[in-house]
Each structure stands twice: as structure tokens, then as C-alpha cells.
Structure 1
Amino acid sequence: MARILDHAARHWWGEPARLWTERVPAAAGSAQAARALDAELFRPVRGLRVVLLDYADGAADLVLVAHRAWLDATSLRMVAEVLTERVPYERFHAGRAQVAAPDDELVKRWREADYSGAAVEWASGDVAAGERTGVVSVPVRDSAHLAARVAVAAALVLGRYEGRHCPVIGAVTGLPARPEEALGAFDAGTLLAVDLSGAATTGELVAGSARVLEGGGWCDARRYARLCAETGGRVLAGLLATATDEDVPCQTAPFPLTLVPRRDQDGSLLLDVRHRLGDVDGESARRFAVHVARAYERLAGDDDLAPADVDLLDEPERRHVTGLGRPDTPLGRRPERIEEIFAARAAERPEAVALTGEDRSLTYAELDALAGRRAAALRGRGVRAGDRVGLCLDRTPELVVTMLAVLKAGAVYVPMDPAYPAERLAYTAGDAALRVVVADRDFPAGDGLSVVSPERLADPDDGGVPRSGGADDAAYVIYTSGSTGRPKGVVVSHRNVVALLTATGDDLGLGPGDTWSNFHSSAFDFSVWEIWGALLTGGRLVMVPYWVSRSPEEFHELLTRERVTVLSQTPSAFAQLMEADRHRDERLAVRLTVFGGEPLDVRPLLGWFDRYPGCRLVNMYGITETTVHVTAQTVTRGDAIAGSRSVGRPLPGWHVYVLDERGRPVPVGAPGEIHVGGAGVATEYLGRPELTAERFVPDPFAGGRMYRSGDRGRLRADGRLEHLGRLDTQVKVRGFRIELDEIRNVLLDDPAVTSAAVVLRDGRPAAPGPAVGGAQADGEVQAVGDAQAVDHALARLDAYVTPADLDPAEVRRRAAKVLPDHMMPATVTALPALPLTANGKLDARALPEPASAPPAPAAPAEDFTRTLAAVWESVLDVPVGDDDNFFELGGNSLLAIRLAAAMRERDLPALPLRELYLHPTVRDLAQVLGHE
């Protein structure tokens, strides 16, 4: 055999080849023989390797292994027939279509055709696995067009796993027009783009794939590599149709998921899924194989299905998946009202300080008594149980006293931010049917509306307030952005708030020893967690004035001075606090930091771990409609290194599902819409029965109701949830939930505007594309609040309006009468027409860069003014004139903080952020800072 190999190799390729012989001290078929065979089959090879395994019982195995860029499977079998003298080697002479050993270019081309995409999000690859390949086998039955059905089944599964409407499946087989009796690399490849939109039935998809696979739609390695490149290299799954019963189809899977139909020893049909361990772990590959086999069976049984009709889960797996999002720990506490629990805390520690702010403190007893008197005063003004009372107050002790008073009166508080435009405040008052608003400044008048200051809510003849109502009564109504152009009120009960503190108190160690900060506006539901989290667990609440919350340095001083131990922050705000902390010698007393309001990028937290190793960081996902928080994930140093996007497991009493558009559970790791059930689900949208019925739906798995969040997510095998952004035109900017359609509708309310679009941009050069608002938006909208890609401080809203002769500044001024600051577009650009796709939808990618004001000429002697303008330009990344308005150029509260830091780094005068808000132009600010 060695002589034949040497002669044949010289004849075929002009160079010798060696037969390696290994004696195996074990009988054929033994475990040791199997290990020796596997070792030879999977030993790396560049060209051709031939090994004879000589067993102790006289039997032998001839093992031939070749790189696919050297010999295809047919050629390899021909070589085996020559070496075993079944065919004389002279038969393969130079006159036939014999192919010499390929050069390195072909090897390179095949490597280029390999998968080169990003990490497989629904699996856990092992970076140390190298090119090692695992295999999972599942039984399938014979059917017509076997390869085409396998390919379409794989596309269905891949489409569900990755949320793609047109996944690409690769295929490798022998070239249909292969020269007979030729030796060489004649493998060919093709790509199938399987349209799962529903335009074709599954039978039509199979027939179309069969026409390609069986009709010669193949190309050689060079063309195949170009096809793969055109897909961005993301060919994750593919079919390998070159295998026979005698072949091991591959050492390293050509695709991360390589499907190989084959016959078992008993003749039954199996589908092997060979998977690269570096990309896909064994359990994820097993799940993929089972789902492909299940989809294949459905395709083989019915050709008239729509792709969405194919359900990948059977009943046992459905029960398993719906159980993944349920916590192990039940919620134990009986339902109570908020003011009842507060009264119990006051009775336990009446002299403990409950509330600090504005250079004053109130003990629990004092706060309880003062709130009781104000409750009686509210009753005296006609407020009755169940009435809604508006609160338009700054972050001072008066806010909390009045909030508690409303609850003691059996009423419902409706918080409003004093910074909101008058028209928005008036709308909220009218929509909530408020008859009483407690405000510490002017509030827009309304029919039947009584506006009273906190100081006037005094009743020295307090006779007490009779108890009324139960835990299921509404405690507050918080208004969130609405797609119709007007905000909508979310009604949340006492029971929900108490459940939130019950679910988190023990795990987070909340108690009388803690000092909390109230950093957020009362109109933002994060404040519910801060205020009642402190007061219902016996802690002390420190009110953070608005201007202090805008200045990381001043906020740091407050945290240090008040020895705050529990801190709640949006990731955007915390990034600025970390920067301020880095420049301070004083160490904070914070033991617990809770993140919420927007996606968290955990990678920048490594420095915080170094400086505060004893501080626990908890990332929480939640929605106003599900009572602030739903899940919790303690962030570790390992999570920060890995860049984890997990928001953790549901809180006790809460549960989550990830469902497809038909309300079916999706497989583990696959994306879908997050649905939340359990103790936190809100009562309703105030006065919106149709919207309530649309979003608060029956829970078919656990009973009760669940909330359709509109958020995209995936459940991991361990029950942890990953938040993947929005499914609709809703986005988050610095913690505020915003419907882009609301802004668009406000713009369209302007009689001069004929059409409008709103996009959210990162604001950095070469940043991700825009998210789009409006019914004309084409395709799925990605929330730019993705923690992995966005600089939240630079995220901005850009508006486009028609016709072209509109005055953008005037459009913006009219919108500012309705929209709060965080919803105001940074720019308004007037166009002759909005660009449209061929389908008549808005083409967001064709929108021009937003218009910006041209720089004003600099006066000769204004050196400091020009220096200041240059700093503004470095922060805003736009040209800046002396009379340009910081906020009209795209500035926001976070960029204001960056501006202050940039001025400090350049040894310029300190910038009090209050002055920037009061004097938002370069010229005016320069004068305030003492320079002409």
C-alpha cells in the first residue's frame, strides 16, 4: 500500500506521499481502538494524510483525511479505492480531468467563506475551544426534497432565534457538473435567503430551495466566498450535503451550525448538527437541533403553512420556558396601604429622622403629624377618598409631606414636574379631572380647579382623618409619554408599592440604618422607589434640590455630607457622578447603588469596583406600568469585564415571559416581546379603556393579567432576562420614556407644518443610525438607548418638517409650549419633502444631517468669549456662535455637566449650572463669569 501511494502521488501531484502505520494494542471495535481512530480522524491536516491503524487482532482501518481545498469527498473515495487496489491508479492519468494540488489562494477563499459574524447572542461559545467541533444527532423521517426541507427548517429556527425575517442558509456539496474520475477540490457552495415574511407558504419555500439545490445553482469556492461577503459574512448555519455513510463530513464544521443528513447503521435517517464549540455550546446546539427537527416534521406534513404557523415548542418545553421567568421565592407580606406602613414605622421610631432637606429635618413623628394635619385640610377643601390631587412641587420636604397627606386623606396623588410647560400641566390637570392642585408656584388655571400652596394647607383644629379604602385603591397616577401626542396616566395601587418593597427589602438589606437620596423628579416613577423605599423601611430620605441634581460636584458633596448609603441613579447620571468622584479625596458612604430608567453599560463600572469594593451595584429593569422595578441583577466584576446585558431574574411576586407576535413563548435565548405579570401590574391607563385592553391582557399561563411592555428581550437558560431595546417608536433618553410619535404629533399640531418625522441619534460621528417616529417609519425600530452602543449624553432628538420655507426656530418655539425639555428636539430642519422608500414609507437613512446655526463672527477683543465658544464646540460637536443658545444647539443636562468638566480641565472659571440655564449663550455666560 505504501508503494502504491508513493507511485500514485508522484503520478498525480508530482511529489511523494507517505503512508503512516500505527499499531494499536487492542482489538478492532474496542474502546481503545475507537479512541485511536478518533485521534487520527481529527488530527489537523493541511493537504492529504493517510494512516493505517493495525489492530492486535489482525484487523486494520485505513484512514484518509484531506483538506477540502485539496480533495473533495468523491476524490478521497477514489484515492481509497486505488490504495486498496480496487481500481488501478493508472486509471487516473493526466489525460483525464485531473486537478493538481491547489494553491494557498483556494484555501484562503474557503476560509473567507466561513462564518465571520459577531458572537452568537443566543448561545455561549467557549473562546478557548479553538476549532473544536461538537455533534448533536436527532432522528428525522424521509421526505421529498430532503435537503431543501432541512434548509428551510433551519432558516425558520434561525429566524426565530435571531429575530430575522430573511435568514441566510449556506450549503456545500459536490459540484453537480463535476468531471468524472477527476481528483481535486470540486466542492461547491450556494446561499439560500429564505423569506419568512409570509409572502410564501412553507411548501413554496421548500420548492424554491429545491430548485436551487437540485437545479445546479452552485458556484465554486471563489464565487461562494464573494456571496458570503455580500451577506456581511454572517452565514451562521449551513447544510453539508457531501457526506456518505462512510465519511466523517468534517473535522471543523464549515459553519458554526452545520447540518448533515445521514443514515444510521439500521438505515434510519438522522440529522447531525455539527457545531463549533467556540461559537455554540452543546446545550444550545441540542436545542437548535431539536427545533430544526420539529420544524422539519411540520414542513413535511403540511405544505400550506405560513412560516409563522410553525411552533417550535412542544407542550413540555412550553411549560419549561414559561416557568423560567418565575422567581423561586414567593411574595409573603399581606397587602397594606402605604400610609398604614408609614404609621407603623413612625410608631416604632418616632424620634428617628425621616426627612432632610432645605436645611431642615423632620422626625417620623413630626412628618406623620404634619401630614395628618394637611390631610385634614385637604378634606376640608372637599377632597374625598379616591379623588385625585395634583402635586406640582419642587424636591423639598414639602413634596413628601403633601404626598403623604394626600394618601392619608384616602386620595390619589398625581405628580407633575414644575419645569413642564404650562400647556402640558394644564392637559394633565384636565385629563386627570383634578379639582385640587398643590403647587409652590403659578399653575395654569382651569375650570373648577383650585390651586393651593403647601403653606395654606394648615388645619390647627385637626380632628383627625377617618381611615378609608384598602390596598387595592390607587395610590398615584404618573403620566408617561403617549403615541397620540398626549401623555397617558398610569394608575398604580397601594398594594403594588408595598409588594415592591416586600420583594426587595430582605435581599437588599433595606432598613432603619439607611440614608436614601431623592434624586429624581416626582413625575418620574424612579422617585416612587426612592421616597417610599426610604420611608416604609424606616430609613432617612434626603431631598436633592434640582440644581444640585444637575451638578455632579454638588451632588457628590451632598452625598458625602449626608452620608447617603442607598443611591438610585440612571446610568447617564451615574457616569457623571463617577467622574466627579474620581477627582475627590472624600469617600462616599454608599453601600448600595440601584440602576434603572435606561440600559446600563456595565463595562465602565470597573473603576467603581476598585474604589468601592464593598458597594453593591444592582441593575434593575422596570416599567411605570409594572411599578418601577421588575427584575434585579447584582453586577459583579466579572459581569463588567464580560459586558453583560443581563437585567437579572424577576423579583418575588413578579414574573416575565418572552412571547412572539402571536403570544407564544419563544425558545430559550430567542428574542421576543417582554410581558410582565404578577404583583406589579398597574390597574389601568386612566380614562383609556381601549388602550388598557390592548396593553393589559389576560395571562394565559399563570392567570390574572400581564402587561405587554413593547420591549424586546430574551430569557437565558438560567432564567435571567436580557433587555434588547424597543419594538416600536418608543425610546429612552436619560431615563425618560419617550414616544417619538408624541413629538411628531405635537409638531403636526402646528398649522404651518404639513408633515414631520422625529429621529433619535447618538450624536457622535459614525454613530448608529436613527430610530424613527411616525407611521411612515420603515421596518423595525431599534432604540438608540442600547447600552452597548450609545453615549447617552450625546443622544439627541432631531425633527424634520415640511415645507421648506418654515422657520425652524418658530416651529421649535411653538412645540416648547407643549413638550417638556427632555422631549424637545435638539434641532428642527425644514425640507421640501420627507424622503420616502419605494414602499412610500419614511426613508430615515436618506434624511440629511440636521441644520445648525452658522457661527457668528467673533469680535476682535473677545478672547475669553471665543475660548468659551471653542469649549462649547468640543462638547456639542457643532459650530458655535457667540449668541447661539446652548440648548437649541442640542445641549441637555448631561452635556451641561460635561461642559462644566471641560471648563474645569482647561482651568477656566467654575461653571454653576444654574447660570448656564439662566444665561444659555456664550456671550451672556461670559459676562456672568466676569469677562467682557
Structure 2
Amino acid sequence: MPPAHHTLIVRLPPDAADAVLADALTTAAELWWPGERSPRLWTETVPAPAGSGTAARRRAAEARRPVAPGHRLRAVLLRYAGEHPADLVLTAGGAALDARSLRLVARVLRGDLAPDAVTPLDGPLPPDLRMDGETRRLASALAVAVGRYEGAASVRVAVPVPARDRPPYALGALDGYAVFTADLSPGRTVADLLATEPAAPAEGDDPPVLMLVAGDVDGYGDEEGDGPAMLPAGPDALPVPAHQVKFVKRQLASSAPNTPLSELDLLSRAESAEQLAFGPPRKAAAGPLRIDEAFAARVADRPDAPALTAGSTTLSYAELDDRAEELADGLYAHGVRPGDLVGLCLPRGADLVAAMLAVLKADAVYVPLDPEHPADRRERTARDAKVRLTVDDPAVLTGRPRRPAASRGPATGPAYVIHTSGSTGRPKGVLVPHGNVTALVDAVRDDFALSPDDVWTCFHSAAFDFSVWEIWGALLTGGRLVVVEHGTSRRPEDFHALLVRERVSVLSQTPSAFTQLAAADRTGGGLPALRLVVLGGEPLDARPLLDWFDRHPEDRCRLVNMYGITETTVHVTAATVTRREALAGSRSVGRPLPGWSVRVLDPYGRPVPPGAPGEIHVGGAGVALGYLHRPAPTAERFVPDVVDPAGRLYRSGDLGRLLPDGTLEHLGRIDDQVKVRGFRIEPGEIRHVLLEDPAVSAAAVTVTGGAGGDAAAVRIDAYVVPAPGAGEDPGSVRERAARLLPPHMVPATVTVLPALPLTANGKLDPARLPAPGARRSPAPAAHPAPAAPAAGDPEAPAAVLAGIWRDVFGVEEIGADDDFWDLGGNSLYAIRIGTLARERGLPGVALRQLYLTPTLGALSEALTGKA
């Protein structure tokens, strides 16, 4: 498919005469295209020097302007202020002239070639697929660069090739293109890539988005771009920076043939160093303290101020401190000594917070064990941590003598252990020091305007690290902490009523839990005291927040999305979310907190270019001490910082990209990517599209099937919660998704739920999602359908085809109106249907036929007509 138009800019000397150029153009046009409307030479003066930005913008604007209908060619001579070279801008319709012919026109107008030396030739000719080494390296380099940015293992590049046996001065023949398909799979080498042969495009196949253009020694190319083929020019011509493509091209020319493609770098040494040093950690105002030391300062400041509310009980700072001291004495009496690990299996309430503080006062380390978790999980966690004592009844710690006075360890010592889910199914304990927590609070204190006037909630389980932020964020800034009873946290209407009653000003939620709270807020009245909402714990899709902003404008209630990891102390980055981000469906999680750093690196620890995806690595004040009793996983995930030899980075396992402005986009878990019919997909991308639907307020996506290696049986299932006022028809949701997603990413089923099931930590609980909603039920035939013939005619084509569909889809009943795609059809199922159809005496069924006649009845009629 030829491009819409070709443009060539030719530099002419200042003394080039307008009349001579005009006469040459008229003479040539009459010779080449007799009887057609002859092009004329237009002359314009640009009131600026040729090298100015004004001149460059004028040239670019002229190059973008298409040729008028009915014309083959437009010629514009641009002259500039002063004695400067002139530019001849030649533009031709893509179907009328090719780029090679346009260069011949330029040679004739400059006087380098006589018009009668050029012979016109109409019609396309077969392409010559031979490719020179320079073009091969350039196409390879472009593929490598784009593959790195897109995370693709295969990249197609269109390469311009001449028409085979083209006469030396042909004018009208269309230039062709070949498709260079680069295999960038792991283990491939430079020699493998450069041995790739281009292929002619398949009939009806769209040309690749990536395309090299024919070389032009008369234009504004540089020494690396000039030649048989070159990179397209213009600010948006390439999806990657051109200088990075050229840097890879030089490496391809100089590297040994057996060099793995993974060793090719997009960034020069200087650029890598600059990227590694980008956004260094901003230091907190003061050195971090121990948690109990920072709390003691708040007790000294305002001993009588309310510190904690649990149900009908409210404790002042002094009372909470006294209760913690009493429990610390009891811990000592039970043999707890500095550095020991203490399990806390207490329900949410004042005693749980006091016990946490007591463990820290005893210079020990607390290990939360949620009583709502299964007993086996609690026991396994306690065994893994090797706790010295598990506290499940604070009464056993009371009435003990005072423990002896002793100095406590430094802020770098451990404060708590929280266990995270592991890919092996075995939770890992993360050991976090005191100073990380106090540094976190100090990092956001001013930005979030945290003060003793704030009222916080402790909504989350103590075994979920979001609770660390809630509890110590409140108590280390002098605020009041409202502990939310477990049952209330599971009833959005009751929780909303608590927020109103307690006049909560700082609220922390996972996006899944906040979606349910926002639904309750529509009917629960206002939240006049709420000024700050912190969202974290899982990726945020901002689109559903528009309804929240209608009731809680941004100037009254700030909403902050925080990306974080247990291993980096709850939060790493922060981004204020406004209506603008919600409309855009932004994935930004903002910039690192003061004292934290973020780097995005490739699998070999090298920085990726700004905007390219890679693994998020976190450094700075929040990096944990490591995994408890797990030296091997600690060494694997907590790695040295190449910039700061004294520091460490945590390899998050999250995919992200660091943008040039310093903000981070979170792209999901690396290990969440799955293969569906040969395509690598990210379920989060499908969920993102579902949430953009105004009829959807919450969504989840699962990928199931494929047991026994049956790739065709892999199925994507979606679950949605309708938006207020929206209907409950899943068909409309799927139809919209089908318009926005490639076929292999369209959910096979969409199940409507009143709410998504959540874990104890407020995150989506995939295990509690119901079985997917049934695919469309077989439609009853209103009349004798082709797919349901008389019983005495079992060999009729319609009956045979119906049997094939039953076998392939595994259903008992099929109706004439059942749709191939609604039944979960895909390209692999189409191949199976076509094969079985031929085996059973029917004409083959092409995939295109299934697009045209997707229902069983329509397909039967089409095949009957062929038979």
C-alpha cells in the first residue's frame, strides 16, 4: 500500500532562477504526462533566515500538505530573507509517483538530467527483495529499539525496495516494500538477526506501522541516514528516539556475530549514567528516630490529647503510653528480650495498638497475626518467624513488676515483620526497621499537611502493611486514630457512617475497597471533615473516580495515589489524582517520596530509556532489612545500588516506566503477563479498558483453561460491577471491549456482580469470584433452522456443522442464532472447525467467513451455497 504522498526537499543555491525552474517543470510535465493538467511552480518568501525555527516550521508545514485532487505533483520554491539558499519542496501523490521518481523530478529541475532521459511507466511491478547490508542493519536496529520499548519479542519493519527489473529512468512505477520480521526472542544473536531475510507482504495484509523510507542524498539526512534506506524524519515519525536506533546500528556493525541481542544497549555510557543519577533521593529534614521515641515526643507535647478511639473507648496519648508500658513489663516478665520476635494475634482495638507499642518499648519486634486468618496460616507464619511468644490475650501481660531500665537499640534496628504472599505459595517475612517508618511519616508530613487536628482510620488488618501507615501516621503526628472493627470494615454503609460520626479527615483505602465505599457515599450523606484520601495497596484505575469528584471536589478533598511495596515500607511514590487524571485514565503513580529513589532497569540491571518499560527498582530510606531467615531470596531481591555502593535497591517484580518529567507509570506485575493463543497479554490492560466503560464501576479479569497444553481452551473471563443507573446487561460491556481490544484479549464471558469479593486486606480476592457467567444460551429456533434439520437427515450440511460446533465448544445444544464469537470462539477454534468440516465432507471454513457469517445458521447457509 503506497503512502498518501511523498515529499522531497531540495536545497538550491540563492541564484537559482524562478523562470528557469518553471520552464523546466512545464517542459517535463508535457513530455511525461501529455494531455494532463500541468503542475506550476509556486514561489513564496519566508521572512526569516533559512536556518531559523520559523523556516524549519514552514518547510515542515509544506511537506505535510497533501497534493490537491487531480494533480500528480506540487512544486513550491521557498526563498528566505537575505542571501540564503532556497528550498524546492516537491510533493507527489503516493499512487501517482513513487519516492524514487520524485528524486528524478528533482534532478531534472536542477538541470542534472534532461526531461527526455526519463521514461514514464505506469503500474506496479513486483518488488526486488534483495536488501543491502546497510539497510539490513538499520531495519534490525529499529526493530531492537522498538522491541525494547514495547517489550515485544517480534517486530515487523517495512523496508523500501525497488521494483524488479525497473528501467533505469522509470517514472510512474510504484516503489514496493518488503517486510523485515525481526525475531528478538531470548538467546538470539547479532548473526541471527542480520541473517533475517525480508519477505513480500501477504495479499491483503496491512503494511507494518514501522517503516524505513528510501534514502535521499538531496534532503536533510545525516551521514548515518543517507543511503538506500533511512529513518523517516519528523517529530512523530518514530515511536523511539532516532539517535538510539543509530546507536544500536553502530553496535550491530561492530559486535561479534555471536553477541546476544540482550547485550545491545539503547543508551550510551553517558546516557546510562545520567539515567541512573536521575532523581536522586531527597533527604528528609532530620535523621529518623525509633517509632517509640517519636511517639514519646508526641506524648510529651500533648499528653491529654485523644490518641486512639476503639468503639466507645477513647484513650489519650498519656493513657495509651501507660497501657503500652504495662504490657511491655508483662513481655519482659514472659522472657522477651531485645531483638526477640513477638506474635500479636489480637482483634482490632486499643489493645492491639498498645501491644505493638509495648513490643517496641521492649526493644523487640512485633509480628502481626490476624485472628481473621485461618489458624493454619497463623501457625505457619509464627513458625516461620520463630516467635518467642504469641500474645492472644493481653490480660496475661498485666500486673507484672516494672522491667529494669535499659537503653534501646538504634533506629536502624528492626521494628516489625509483615509476611507477604510469595510466588511459591509460602509467605515471606519482611523485616522493617524503625527508621523506615519514621522517615515515611517525615517524608509526607508537610506535603499532606498532617497535624494533631487530623482524625485517621485504621481500616486494614495489622498483617497488611497499609496498617503501618495508618497507625503510625496518626500517632507520630499527634492525630487521633479510629480503629475500625473488622465487621464494620466489611460493611461499606456502616463504615461510611463511622467516617461521618467520627469526623475522619485522613482516610486510607485500597482502590477495591474505596470503590465500595464510594458507592455507599452516594446515599450516605456528606463527609464534610474528609480532606485527604490515600489510595494504595494495588493498582488504581482512575476512571471510576469521576463520580467521587462530583460529590467531593478536589479543592476540598485531596485524593493521592501511592505506589508501594511491603519491602520498601508501605509507600514509595505519590501522585495527586484530579478529574483530569481520571478522565485520561492515568496510570501515573507520581514521583518518589523525599528520601526514596526509583530506577527502571532491564533484566541485566541496565537503565532503560525514559518511557521504556522495565522492572521497578526502589532505593533510599524505605528499603527493608531483607526477608526474615531467607538469605537466598534476600540476596536475589535486595541488590547493590550501582550509584551508591553503600545503598541497596529492591527489585520489585513490577513493570513500569519512568517518564522524562520524573513521574513513574506502574504497568502491573511482570509475572501477571500470560500467554493467550501465542500472544503475551497483561490482564490489567483488559481491566483498564473495562473500567473506561461508563457502565462499569469496578472490574476484575481472570485467565483460565489451557489444561493439558490446549492453547485454544485458554479463556479470559471478566467480572464487572455496574455503575449507578447502568443496566446489568453484560453483552454491551463485552461489545464495547471488543471494539477496543484485539480479538485475543476480548473476554469470553462477562459476569455482572453486585460487588467484587475482597480479601481481609481489602484487595481483590480472586478465589472468591464465582464461576464465570454462562456464555450466551443457545437460542431457540423460531422456525426449522438449518442447524437443526429433521432427524431423518443427519448428513445434511447444517446438521454436520452443528455437530462440529458441539464437539469444539463442548456444549450439548446449539441453535441457529448462536454466535461463534459469543461462544468463546477464537482463531484456533476456527482452524479446528475448518479441519473437521473438511474431514466430514463440507467445504473448508475460513476465518474471514466466520467474521462475515458468525452465527451457525448463517454459516450453514453460506456453506450450503458453496457445496
Under a length normalisation based on structure 2, what TM-score does the superposition of the two structures give?
0.72
1:298 aligns with 2:251: yes
> What letter is aligned with 2:162?
G
Contact 2:615 2:653 in 1 (8 A): yes
- Distance in 2, Cα, partners of 1:718 & 1:501: 25
- Evaluate the alpha carbon distance shift between residue 160 and residue 365 of structure 1 in structure 2; reply closer, same or farther with a 3 A threshold: same
State the match for 2:266 in structure 1: 312
- Evaluate the alpha carbon distance shift between residue 17 and residue 640 of structure 1 in structure 2; reply closer, same or farther with a 3 A threshold: same
Pick aligned residue for 1:595 from 512, 535, 557? 535
Pick aligned residue for 2:67 from 45, 49, 68? 45
What displacement does 1:537 show? 0.8
> What letter is aligned with 1:74?
R
1:396 aligns with 2:349: yes
State the match for 2:663 in structure 1: 720
Pick aligned residue for 1:645 from 562, 574, 587? 587
- Evaluate the alpha carbon distance shift between residue 483 and residue 892 of structure 1 in structure 2; reply closer, same or farther with a 3 A threshold: closer
SS of equivalent to 1:226: coil
State the match for 2:216 in structure 1: 244
SS of equivalent to 1:528: helix
Contact 1:408 1:465 in 2 (8 A): no
What displacement does 1:362 show? 0.3
Deviations 1:536-572 (A, max 9, x none): 1100000111121112211111111111111101111
State the match for 1:359 in structure 2: 312
- Distance in 1, Cα, partners of 2:103 & 2:177: 20
- Evaluate the alpha carbon distance shift between residue 21 and residue 417 of structure 1 in structure 2; reply closer, same or farther with a 3 A threshold: closer
Deviations 1:120-144 (A, max 9, x none): xxxxxxxxxxxxxxxxxxxxxxx97
SS of equivalent to 1:657: strand
- Distance in 2, Cα, partners of 1:98 & 1:562: 82
Contact 2:658 2:665 in 1 (8 A): yes
1:708 aligns with 2:651: yes
Contact 2:329 2:400 in 1 (8 A): no
- Structure 1 segment 265-664 matched on structure 2, within 5 A: 273-275=232-234, 277=236, 288-304=241-257, 305-327=259-281, 329-439=282-392, 453-459=393-399, 461-462=401-402, 466-613=406-553, 614-664=556-606
- Evaluate the alpha carbon distance shift between residue 516 and residue 83 of structure 1 in structure 2; reply closer, same or farther with a 3 A threshold: closer
State the match for 1:19 in structure 2: 40
1:795 aligns with 2:774: no
Contact 1:573 1:894 in 2 (8 A): no
- Evaluate the alpha carbon distance shift between residue 345 and residue 571 of structure 1 in structure 2; reply closer, same or farther with a 3 A threshold: same
- Evaluate the alpha carbon distance shift between residue 236 and residue 701 of structure 1 in structure 2; reply closer, same or farther with a 3 A threshold: farther
Contact 2:272 2:607 in 1 (8 A): yes
Stretch of structure 1 that moved more, 8-17 or 659-668 = 8-17
State the match for 1:202 in structure 2: 190
RMSD, matched Cα: 4.3
Pick aligned residue for 2:97 from 61, 71, 76? 71
What displacement does 1:472 show? 2.0
- Distance in 2, Cα, partners of 1:892 & 1:871: 26
> What letter is aligned with 1:226?
D
What displacement does 1:409 show? 1.7
Q: Which runs of 5+ in 1 are unaligned?
A: 103-142, 229-234, 250-257, 264-268, 440-452, 730-768, 801-832, 838-842, 853-869, 881-885, 900-932
- Evaluate the alpha carbon distance shift between residue 898 and residue 666 of structure 1 in structure 2; reply closer, same or farther with a 3 A threshold: closer
> What letter is aligned with 2:648?
R
- Evaluate the alpha carbon distance shift between residue 848 and residue 587 of structure 1 in structure 2; reply closer, same or farther with a 3 A threshold: closer
> What letter is aligned with 2:328?
A
State the match for 2:811 in structure 1: none
Pick aligned residue for 2:708 from 804, 812, 835? 835
Pick aligned residue for 2:682 from 763, 767, 782? 782
State the match for 2:159 in structure 1: 171
- Distance in 1, Cα, partners of 2:589 & 2:268: 28
SS of equivalent to 1:383: coil
Contact 1:519 1:568 in 2 (8 A): yes
SS of equivalent to 1:194: strand
What displacement does 1:658 show? 1.0
Q: Which is bigger in relative contact order (C-alpha 8 A, separation at least 6)?
A: 1
What displacement does 1:63 show? 5.1
- Structure 1 segment 142-161 matched on structure 2, within 5 A: 145-161=133-149
Pick aligned residue for 2:171 from 183, 205, 217? 183
SS of equivalent to 1:788: helix
> What letter is aligned with 1:515?
V
Contact 1:167 1:194 in 2 (8 A): yes
- Evaluate the alpha carbon distance shift between residue 387 and residue 85 of structure 1 in structure 2; reply closer, same or farther with a 3 A threshold: closer
What displacement does 1:14 show? 4.2
State the match for 1:906 in structure 2: none
> What letter is aligned with 2:709?
L
> What letter is aligned with 1:458?
T
What displacement does 1:415 show? 0.6
- Distance in 1, Cα, partners of 2:251 & 2:368: 53
- Distance in 1, Cα, partners of 2:285 & 2:763: 43
- Structure 1 segment 97-112 matched on structure 2, within 5 A: 97-99=121-123
Contact 1:28 1:60 in 2 (8 A): no
- Evaluate the alpha carbon distance shift between residue 793 and residue 480 of structure 1 in structure 2; reply closer, same or farther with a 3 A threshold: farther
- Evaluate the alpha carbon distance shift between residue 17 and residue 647 of structure 1 in structure 2; reply closer, same or farther with a 3 A threshold: same
Q: Which runs of 5+ in 2 are unaligned?
A: 1-21, 126-130, 692-696, 720-727, 734-748, 771-867
- Distance in 2, Cα, partners of 1:342 & 1:326: 29
1:261 aligns with 2:230: no
- Distance in 2, Cα, partners of 1:626 & 1:154: 37
- Evaluate the alpha carbon distance shift between residue 240 and residue 435 of structure 1 in structure 2; reply closer, same or farther with a 3 A threshold: same
Deviations 1:581-614 (A, max 9, x none): 1223333311111111011112222333343232
SS of equivalent to 2:530: coil
What displacement does 1:57 show? 9.5
- Distance in 2, Cα, partners of 1:597 & 1:40: 51
- Distance in 2, Cα, partners of 1:224 & 1:18: 34
What displacement does 1:785 show? 8.1
State the match for 2:805 in structure 1: none
State the match for 2:830 in structure 1: none
- Distance in 1, Cα, partners of 2:618 & 2:664: 12
- Distance in 1, Cα, partners of 2:656 & 2:56: 44
What displacement does 1:408 show? 1.4
> What letter is aligned with 1:472?
T
State the match for 2:609 in structure 1: 667
SS of equivalent to 1:246: coil
Counting matched residue pairs gives 703
Contact 1:354 1:538 in 2 (8 A): yes
Contact 1:375 1:408 in 2 (8 A): yes
- Distance in 2, Cα, partners of 1:565 & 1:26: 60
What displacement does 1:61 show? 7.1
Under a length normalisation based on structure 1, what TM-score does the superposition of the two structures give?
0.68
Deviations 1:271-290 (A, max 9, x none): 6551453x76xxx86xx222
- Evaluate the alpha carbon distance shift between residue 662 and residue 564 of structure 1 in structure 2; reply closer, same or farther with a 3 A threshold: same
- Evaluate the alpha carbon distance shift between residue 180 and residue 689 of structure 1 in structure 2; reply closer, same or farther with a 3 A threshold: same
What displacement does 1:402 show? 1.3
SS of equivalent to 1:316: helix
- Evaluate the alpha carbon distance shift between residue 717 and residue 426 of structure 1 in structure 2; reply closer, same or farther with a 3 A threshold: same
State the match for 1:226 in structure 2: 205
SS of equivalent to 1:167: strand
- Distance in 2, Cα, partners of 1:205 & 1:784: 32
- Distance in 2, Cα, partners of 1:172 & 1:490: 56
What displacement does 1:349 show? 0.4
